[in-house]
């Protein structure tokens, strides 16, 4: 195994699939990338195909010796930028892949050039948030126009567009009807099913937990409003894990309510993975109040940790959480507060909900084929020979 460096083979040896792994350190897309690489390595090896990963020099994943590492140039290019487009152009000219898999929606414009038009594109659309109304997405007209243009190109050019949920696939189909879409649900990492040996979560017991950033569609304001209404009626504190460094800039309402609640709320900011697991496993409940999601992994990770889940009643979370969660209206803080009072005061009800969640995530885990996206990519390439 190796993590960095260059494959001794020349570019002329060729690459069948180039997988963009540059954003492996991010939370949502990083989890997806880390999950896909070993499946891609196994499936390509079984089928005699050559795999390469595109990565920044300081964030190369650990890969098999047979997997070629292509260093991105320019370094550390952000999503949705001209620099990202230059990264893809440089990579295509460096290794001449037969296929490029981009695990987010921007379309590599280099594929419109005659020189690279034969390269097959595979892309993953995790959500369509950037297409949604500005009141939900907090995106201006320019960003929404950009997203629509990129998704139309994906639909026209991609051999397959992967989505993590039927809800996302349906929304994508409303805007880009020609897309060839395959729904490939994301499994929960097996590590979440093990709680032995975790560190102390480092917060006072008992507590309720929110995991995520503070972007508008995450709807953290509703949870804070509900908690503020009932905080005198329950012994629990509210812990907000992740996104703490943007608390003041992302939504002024969040910062204001957190300030008013004082010591009843703890904002951890980004935490190491083992501590995040400990926070999830130690919580009495995880609450996910989102108005919009592409799939929603935190509730499933909580279920795997035997933590009870309360989730907003939106289609994608109904799909993801099934009968493993209790649901609430994400526009009604008073109703959520009443559910919190009931569950915070009833250990048996919380335990029953947690067990229901564990049963659901276990069934879901066995039903998912984690190699589906990798297998489709390889099959498309084999069929094109």
DSSP string over 233-277: G-S-EEEEES-GGGHHHH-HHHHHHHHHHGGGEEEEES--HHHHH
For the chain, the average pLDDT equals: 91
Kindly report the CATH class assigned to 190-367. Answer: alpha beta
Which CATH class for the 11-187+369-384 domain?
alpha beta
pLDDT at residue 137 greater than cutoff 60: yes
Helix then strand then coil, % of the chain, to nearest 5: 50, 15, 35
Domain assignments of the chain as residue spans, ordered by start: 11-187+369-384, 190-367
Quote the pLDDT of residue 236.
Answer: 97
Write down the pLDDT at residue 247.
Answer: 54
Task: Give pLDDT, residue 134.
Answer: 82
Q: How far apart are CA 21 and CA 261, in angstroms?
A: 40
pLDDT (tens digit per residue) in 295-335: 999 999 999 999 999 999 999 999 999 999 999 999 999 99
Tell which residue, 345, 298, 301, 350, has the closest CA to residue 326: 350
pLDDT digits (tens, 9 = 90+) for 91-114: 999 999 999 999 999 999 999 999
Residue 88, classified by CB atoms within 10 Å of its CB into exposed (0-12), middle (13-18) or buried (19+), is buried
Rounded CA gap, 385 and 373, in Å?
19
Prediction pTM value: 0.88
- Distance of alpha carbon 232 from the chain centroid: 35
Backbone angles phi, psi at 311, to 5 degrees: -130, 150
* pLDDT tens profile 200-226: 998 988 999 999 888 889 999 999 999
Beta strand residue intervals within the chain, DSSP E: 15-20, 51-55, 68-71, 97-102, 120-124, 158-163, 181-183, 207-211, 237-241, 265-269, 285-288, 308-312, 326-328
Average pLDDT over every residue of 237-252: 70
Give the pLDDT confidence of 76-89 residue by residue, as tens digits: 999 999 999 999 99
Dihedral angle of Cα 29, 163, 68, 118, to the nearest 10 degrees: -130
């Amino acid at each position: 195994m190796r993590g960095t460096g260059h494959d001794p083979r020349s570019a002329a040896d060729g690459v069948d699939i180039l997988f963009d792994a540059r954003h492996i350190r991010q939370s949502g897309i990083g989890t997806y990338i880390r999950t896909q690489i070993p499946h891609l390595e196994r499936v390509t090896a079984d089928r005699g195909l050559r795999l390469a990963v595109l990565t920044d020099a300081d964030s190369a994943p650990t890969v098999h010796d047979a997997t070629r590492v292509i260093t991105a140039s320019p370094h550390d290019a952000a999503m949705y930028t001209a620099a990202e487009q230059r990264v893809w152009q440089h990579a295509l000219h460096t290794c001449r892949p037969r296929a490029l898999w981009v695990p987010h929606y921007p379309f590599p414009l280099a594929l419109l050039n005659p020189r690279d038009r034969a390269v097959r594109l595979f892309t993953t659309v995790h959500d369509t948030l950037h297409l949604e109304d500005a009141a939900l997405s907090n995106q201006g007209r320019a960003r929404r126009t950009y997203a629509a243009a990129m998704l139309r190109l994906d639909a026209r050019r991609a051999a397959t567009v992967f989505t993590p949920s039927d809800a996302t696939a349906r929304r994508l189909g409303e805007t880009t009807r020609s897309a060839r879409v395959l729904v490939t649900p994301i499994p929960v990492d097996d590590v979440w099913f093990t709680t032995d040996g975790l560190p102390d979560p480092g917060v006072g017991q008992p507590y309720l937990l929110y995991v995520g950033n503070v972007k508008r569609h995450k709807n953290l304001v509703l949870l804070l409003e509900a908690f503020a209404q009932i905080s005198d009626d329950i012994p629990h504190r509210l812990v907000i894990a992740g996104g703490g460094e943007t608390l003041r800039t992302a939504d002024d309402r969040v910062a204001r309510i957190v300030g008013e609640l004082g010591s009843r709320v703890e904002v951890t900011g980004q935490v190491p993975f083992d501590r995040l697991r400990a926070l999830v496993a130690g919580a009495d409940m995880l609450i996910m109040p989102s108005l919009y999601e592409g799939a929603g992994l935190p509730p499933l990770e909580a279920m795997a940790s035997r933590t009870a889940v309360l989730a907003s009643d939106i289609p994608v979370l109904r799909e993801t959480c099934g009968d493993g969660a209790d649901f609430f209206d994400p526009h009604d803080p008073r109703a959520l507060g009443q559910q919190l009072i009931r569950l915070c005061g009833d250990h048996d009800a919380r335990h029953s909900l947690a067990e229901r969640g564990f049963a659901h995530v276990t069934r879901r885990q066995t039903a998912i084929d984690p190699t589906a996206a990798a297998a489709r990519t390889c099959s498309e390439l084999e069929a094109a020979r």
